[in-house]
Chains A and B, each alone.
Chain A
């Protein structure tokens, strides 16, 4: 697809992943072990704790899977990409790829949570939708932070350090939104919170698009 650079880049990432699958299997193992460990510690908790544990697990999954997106590329390869692709296309391609990865892994995590830790969900559709939106938010933030960390000598710990403060308000919003699916009580202002979360996502994407070109040039 010579015309559309973004699609080509996403295709490249997906193809690399499909051929090697080591990121995917690694993340899958990570999800399985984490959920299992959470189950051993807490048994089948009640709904609110289930919710909290789920979102914390999501955070750790995001840090481990999305963070690799920039770090797994050799730094020298960036010089090659620099000559062929405009920076914004590269960032958007990475964000879309991370989102796809996160969506898939979150779905699996949700399934495992339902199987192992009990199924307190009253409205499954709402919770799945909130999970999807949450995956997008976390993927977008951690992609940009991964880009920053890749420039700072590929320091993986930096992603966690930079990412946790930023992820905290997002996770708080997500868990408040998810409560609607757990508690069969009317939640006033739910759509307002959803709009706020979407606005925050759009803000982060726009900031990434504006700021990434400065990181791109060496």
Chain B
């Protein structure tokens, strides 16, 4: 995917999200005040992470069905970039929490759920790192990726909603309603989500292409043309 229309769109959307996000007016809410702008950076990080992990999940299933190692490369790179986004999401969240909740870590259920999710995916990296045999590594990491994704869904979405939480929008409802996401914020929020996700895809795309070049160079005895 070397075409550039979506990359240009990504740059424009992100520029808009950063500049507009910091300058456009936002509703005043008790305690949150201006920090509500964090919505444009923190939340899209997590959305992008979930979307990237969904992509990795799909490629893992594809690998298990086809045995094609390029699918494994796709899955691994998407997972790694997803992990980077999760770290960014956690850091932006903790930075925000320092000012709104008083301390960076307050054992909030959503924080705990996502921290555990991050640990599960870090273990994925360690699992991959320990094996050198390509096909074995691909098969086992595909199995673990599917397992981790299927467990991530209840950990992030179901468990934190069942208990009280400090996160705006909890106590039962998804985050969207809590800010009463009025049109002023939606104007920046939706483009920001798309922009950050496109950035994640762009990074993944470049790394996947690099890995594919390396893979084809090392495996030049395989005929890749017949696909």
Contact = CB atoms under 8 A, between A and B. Distances in A.
Interface of A: 144, 148, 151-153, 155, 158, 161-162, 164-166, 168-169, 172, 189, 192, 196, 199-200, 203-204, 207, 211, 214-215
A196 B109 CA distance: 15
A155 B116 CA distance: 23
Contact of A211 (B126, B146, B158): B146
A152 B119 contact: no
Contacts of A192: 162
A168 B119 contact: yes
B207 interface: no
B131 to A, nearest CB: 6
Given A152-B131, A196-B162, A161 B123 contact: yes
Interface stretch (B8-16, B136-144, B219-227): B136-144
A79 B66 CA distance: 23
B110 to A, nearest CB: 13
B136 A165 contact: no
Contact of B113 (A155, A166, A169, A200): A169
B123 A162 contact: yes
Contacts of A144: 147
Interface string B114-133: 00100110110011001100
A196 B130 contact: no
B127 A152 contact: yes
Interface residues of B, number: 27
Contact of A196 (B140, B144, B159): B159
Nearest to A208: B147
Give the interface centre of A144, A189, A192, A207 by most chain B CB atoms within 10 Å.
Answer: A207
A161 B131 contact: no
Contact of A169 (B122, B123, B131, B159): B159
A127 B112 CA distance: 25
Given A169-B116, A192-B162, A214-B64, A152 B130 contact: yes
A162 B119 CA distance: 9
Interface string B44-68: 0000000000000000000010000
B119 A165 contact: yes
A168 B114 CA distance: 12
A217 to B, nearest CB: 9
Nearest to B150: A207
Nearest to B153: A203
Contacts of B155: 169
Contacts of B120: 165-166
Contacts of B146: 207, 211
A153 B116 contact: no
Contacts of B144: 148, 162
A203 B119 contact: no
B151 interface: yes
A203 B140 contact: no
Given A151-B140, A161-B127, 9 more contacts: A153-B131, A165-B122, A189-B162, A196-B158, A196-B159, A204-B151, A207-B146, A207-B150, A215-B139
B174 interface: no
A210 B70 CA distance: 23
Contacts of B150: 203, 207
